[in-house]
């Protein structure tokens, strides 16, 4: 063990860019340093945010034809599983009698399609969207039942979901801004939730489909939610990746500053069968690393669906 420690310290001290480091070991040194110096710390928590996930229509038929209900996540699952928490927007009900369908805007998926979530440790979904009630209240009740059986938590039904990881409490709520709902009630939920958790993540279903930039309403709502206590806002529905920004927040009650809130107006599609354009095939996965309440790292992980409804990370 002593030799390993000494070797690790020695490797970490080398400069792979230095001319005194032999050329034939520079690449080796860089690789080993990455493993030694950049490995996750025990007290850090990673949160992955993903875009729209629709497991019905031809996503389901393709998966069933392949005999592989994990098909949509085959090429992104390993990286997703590295995170402690994963939050995506589930864009369809999960019902037992879902029939194969190839078109239309009434979505559903069989319970077996949840394999892609459980296999890849996607542990929280947002249900506040315009397809949640495609099969009415009974379809929503079935969805909640199947998610619960799979130990997949959900937000977006007027509830706060709390996940405590390594002593830090993460809260998740969701709201569909496209419906005529009680926004004042949701604002109250956000404000109360801020007092109960260390990091509050708000899923916002908003904006115009196939729009490259957020509209004035998204901007106004984002500022509103940040003032109420949101630490991170993740947007869905446009199906295109939109811009992001950091919004300053009011000081704490003791007068100390708070870090700016992160707003991702739309992450585009994560899994969808909108294969008819480049923009709808693109998506963005955000990986956030926290140490306690503090954000210590923010990573953009672009994805692209080259194969039918099957995203993969884009190598830079």
Spatial distance between the Cα atoms of 52 and 87, rounded to a whole number of angstroms: 10
What mean pLDDT comes out for the span 128-146? 98
According to the model, what pLDDT value does residue 14 have? 52
Q: What mean pLDDT value characterizes the chain?
A: 90
Q: Find the range with the poorest average confidence among 11-15, 46-50, 223-227, 229-233.
A: 11-15
Exposure pattern of 285-306 as b/e (b: 16+ CB <10 Å)?
Answer: bbbbbbeeeebeeeeebebebe
Residues 70-101: tens digit of each pLDDT: 999 999 999 999 999 999 999 999 999 999 98
* C-alpha closest to that of 125 among 209, 51, 229, 194: 51
Listed range (12-16, 144-148, 161-165) with the worst mean pLDDT:
12-16
Q: How many C-beta neighbours within 10 Å does residue 42 have?
A: 6
Report residue 315's pLDDT band, with 50, 70 and 90 as the boundaries: confident
Which of 275, 312, 289, 270 is CA-nearest to residue 78? Answer: 312
Domain limits, the chain: 2-37, 44-313
Res. 157: pLDDT tops 60: yes
Quick one: angle between helices 216-228 and 183-196, nearest 10?
40
Q: What is the CA radius of gyration of the chain?
A: 21
pLDDT at position 31, please?
Answer: 45
What pLDDT, in 10s, does the model give residues 2-35? 444 444 444 445 554 455 555 554 444 444 444 4
pLDDT of residue 258: 83
Whether 119 has a pLDDT exceeding 90, the answer reads: yes
Distance CA 265, CA 225 (A): 13
3-state secondary structure of 168: strand
| Angle (CA) 59 110 150, round 5° | 110
Q: Are strands 244-247 and 261-264 parallel, antiparallel or unpaired?
A: antiparallel
Taking the C-alpha atoms of residue 32 and residue 28, their distance in angstroms, rounded to an integer, is: 6
**Tell me: the pLDDT tens digits for 30-54?**
444 444 444 456 789 999 999 999 9
Q: What is the pLDDT of residue 41?
A: 62
| CA 94 vs CA 77, 90, 240, 293, 311: distances in Å | 21, 10, 24, 34, 21
Cβ–Cβ under 8 Å, residues 234 and 203: yes
The proportion of the chain whose per-residue pLDDT surpasses 70, expressed as a percent, equals 86
Q: Of all residues in the chain, what percent carry a pLDDT higher than 90? A: 81
Provide the pLDDT for residue 32.
44
The lowest-confidence range among 24-38, 56-70, 143-157, 170-184 is: 24-38
pLDDT > 80? residue 251: no
| pLDDT above 90 (res 249) | no
The predicted structure's pLDDT at residue 19: 53
Superfamily of chain region 44-313: Metallo-dependent phosphatases (3.60.21.10)
Provide the pLDDT for residue 195. Answer: 94
In the prediction, which pLDDT does 22 show? 56
Q: Quote the pLDDT of residue 9.
A: 41
pLDDT at 20: 55
Which of 1-10, 82-91, 188-197, 252-261 bottoms out in mean pLDDT, i.e. has the lowest? 1-10
pLDDT of residue 225: 97
């Amino acid at each position: 063990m002593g030799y390993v420690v000494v070797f690790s310290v020695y490797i970490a001290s080398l400069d792979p860019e230095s001319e005194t480091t032999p050329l034939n070991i520079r690449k080796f040194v860089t690789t080993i340093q990455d493993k030694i110096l950049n490995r996750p710390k025990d007290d850090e928590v990673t949160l992955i945010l993903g875009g729209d996930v629709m497991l019905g229509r031809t996503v389901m038929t393709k998966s069933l034809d392949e005999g592989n209900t994990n098909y949509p996540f085959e090429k992104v699952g390993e990286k997703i599983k590295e995170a402690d928490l994963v939050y995506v927007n589930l864009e369809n009900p999960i019902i037992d009698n879902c029939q194969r369908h190839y078109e239309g805007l009434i979505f559903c998926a069989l319970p077996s399609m949840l394999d892609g979530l459980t296999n890849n440790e996607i542990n929280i979904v947002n249900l506040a969207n315009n397809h949640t009630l495609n099969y009415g209240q009974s379809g929503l009740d079935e969805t909640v039942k199947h998610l619960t059986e799979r130990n997949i938590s959900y937000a977006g039904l007027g509830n706060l979901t709390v996940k405590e990881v390594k002593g830090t409490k993460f809260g998740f709520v969701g709201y569909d801004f496209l419906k005529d709902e009680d926004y004042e009630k949701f604002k109250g939920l956000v404000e109360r939730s801020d007092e109960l958790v260390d990091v509050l993540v708000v899923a916002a279903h908003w904006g115009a489909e196939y729009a490259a930039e957020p509209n004035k309403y998204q901007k106004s709502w984002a500022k509103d939610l940040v003032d109420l206590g949101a630490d991170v806002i993740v947007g869905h529905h446009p199906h295109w990746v939109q811009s992001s920004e950091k919004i300053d927040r009011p000081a704490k009650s003791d007068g100390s500053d708070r870090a700016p809130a992160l707003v991702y107006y739309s992450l585009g599609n994560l899994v969808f069968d909108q294969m008819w354009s480049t923009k709808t095939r693109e998506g963005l996965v955000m990986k956030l690393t926290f140490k306690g309440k503090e954000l210590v790292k923010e990573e953009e992980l672009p994805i692209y669906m080259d194969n039918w409804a099957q995203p993969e990370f884009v190598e830079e």
